[in-house]
Amino acid sequence: MPANRSSNDSGLIFGFIIIAIGVLILLNKLGFFIPGWILSWPMILVAIGTFTLVKHGFRSFFGSIMLGLGLYFLFEREFGFDFGIERYIFPVALILLGLYFVTQRRKENKILSDIDSQINKSMKEAKDSMNSSLGGEKQSNPFTSAGSTFNDRLNIDAIFSGVDKRVMSKNFQGGKLTAAFGGIDIDFTQADFKGIATLQVDVIFGGMKLVVPPHWDVRTEVSNIAAGVEDKRIYRDSEVDPEKVLLLRGTVLFGGLEIKSF
């Protein structure tokens, strides 16, 4: 299954990065000459930024920021470069972060608006048809989009913010969730699917909680570094549906992932 293999590439990349860091530290302990800048703290930002960009096809705002900050501090503090822009970094970072939130919110609102229009249109047609068959009796609309998403695929980034969503799709196909210095709560109790749905979950200095139906078969293939992955579901083997497999893949770094069911 090509989609599953590509989503697992990020785990391989992260694994190789960890191996490389371990090898460098070991060589340094054995007396081999390792330049000090390679083991400096800005390289942590460079590694996180590079990993995030590669994983997202070099289209990650968070990865670009981490890589840029890492390179800036690396050149300035380790190599003595004086860019003369240190006092501008914080306000510029705030401006860029604000622009990102504005564009993301507009994109999300447009998607939700399109979905609402489609749902309202379908409901109106169904109500008109029902009214005709019942002699004009009016029916109430049981659907609401407040705090909910009807998308079949999720693509949510929570950076220095929190996202709380309820998935209503009956043909859920997986997607991608990224929480960096923020939190994501997703409620799947009203969702449904058949087969295997792969969900990429990446948590960096943040938290994520997934509430799933008790009959889903949730399989976790997540790499966690200085983090916690807690599966708080109550297992009932007799109730697990083998045709509903939610596969979680990704990385949890200095954060937490919690899986629950009711």
pLDDT digits 0-9 by tens, 86-136: 667 767 777 877 776 677 666 555 655 654 565 555 556 555 655 554 444
pLDDT one-digit tens code per residue, 151-210: 899 998 888 888 999 999 999 999 999 888 889 999 999 999 999 999 999 888 889 999
- Backbone angle region of 154, left / alpha / beta, with phi > 0 → left and psi within -120 to 50 → alpha: beta
pTM: 0.47
Whether residue 21 has pLDDT greater than 60? yes
- What is the model's pLDDT at position 91? 79
At 11, is the pLDDT very low, low, confident or very high (cuts 50, 70, 90)?
A: low
Residues contacting 176, CB < 8 A, separation 6+: 154, 155, 156, 199, 200, 202
Backbone dihedral angles phi then psi of residue 110, each to the nearest 5 degrees: -65, -45
d(CA 173, CA 197): 5
d(CA 178, CA 195): 24
Residues contacting 103, CB < 8 A, separation 6+: none
Whether residue 43 has pLDDT greater than 60? yes
- What is the model's pLDDT at position 36? 78
pLDDT one-digit tens code per residue, 166-176: 999 999 999 99
**Residue indicated by tokens 């069911």:** 261
Token pair for 36: 């000090």
